[in-house]
Amino acid sequence: MNTEQEIVTRSPEETHRVAEDLLKTLKPGAVLALHGDLGAGKTCFVQGLARAMGVRRAVGSPTFTLINEHGGDGMRLYHVDLYRIRDSHEALGLGLDDCIHGDGITAIEWAERVADLLPKTTIHIRMSPGRLPEERHIVIQRGGDS
Ligand SMILES: Nc1ncnc2c1ncn2[C@@H]1O[C@H](COP(=O)(O)OP(=O)(O)OP(=O)(O)O)[C@@H](O)[C@H]1O
Ligand SMILES: [Mg+2]
């Protein structure tokens, strides 16, 4: 069974809380594909995950490292930003495959660039602006066994 959940947030803090709620439902090894234009709030979402996982190091937008690994209280968090890569071949060279098939949580910004590498259980999170400056629409799509 596939489920789709639609949420509107009205501040970065609300987006953090959506991430925190989603985290409670994730199994080790979960892969999250974050979609949305520049400034949609993908990194903000990952920051919410990180906070909920007890990551103390700041989670930003990686400039040169495209994969950042964070140790939390339990599971590890892999934050991947593929804005600067062209295709999945390049991503494999960065070690993306190891993250995806590991038992941490992998959150991938601009995941559509590696669509062919994503497991079937990938949870897709689509973010888009709302009518107000701090409003964001978030659609969370997951397969039955994700
Ligand atoms: N409701 C909201 N949810 C998330 N971010 C919001 C919200 N309202 C305002 N913002 C602001 O929007 C910006 C989102 O930036 P963020 O870096 O998360 O975007 P991004 O999707 O990761 O962009 P990029 O593709 O450049 O990495 C932040 O400055 C954040 O404070
Ligand atoms: Mg970002």
What confidence score (pLDDT) does residue 62 get? 64
What confidence score (pLDDT) does residue 59 get? 82
- Looking at every residue in the chain, the average pLDDT score rounds to 92
Distance 11 CA to ligand 1 centre (A): 10
Cα 99 to Cα 79: distance, rounded to the nearest angstrom: 9
Identify the CATH number of the domain in which residue 44 sits: 3.40.50.300
Terminal C-alpha separation, the chain: 10
Is residue 48 lining ligand 1, measured as CB closer than 6 Å? Answer: no
Cα 65 to Cα 9: distance, rounded to the nearest angstrom: 29
User: What's the structural domain count of the chain?
Assistant: 1
Burial of 108 (C-beta count, 10 Å sphere; 0-12/13-18/19+): buried
What confidence score (pLDDT) does residue 72 get? 72
Instruction: Supply the pTM of this predicted model.
Output: 0.95
Confidence of residue 63 (pLDDT cuts 50, 70, 90): low
Confidence of residue 94 (pLDDT cuts 50, 70, 90): confident
Query: In this structure, which ligand is nearest to the CA of 129?
Result: 1
Query: In this structure, which ligand is nearest to the CA of 36?
Result: 1
Q: What percent of the chain has pLDDT over 70?
A: 97
Which residue matches tokens 């989603």? Answer: 22
The residue range of the domain holding 57 is 3-142
Site to probe by mutation for ligand 1, drawn from 44, 112, 131, 138 as the one with most ligand atoms within 8 Å of Cβ, is 44
Q: Dihedral of the CA atoms 59, 98, 123, 20 (nearest 10)?
A: -30
User: What is the number of the ligand 1 atom nearest to the C-alpha of 134?
Assistant: 8
Residue 64 has pLDDT above 80, yes or no: no
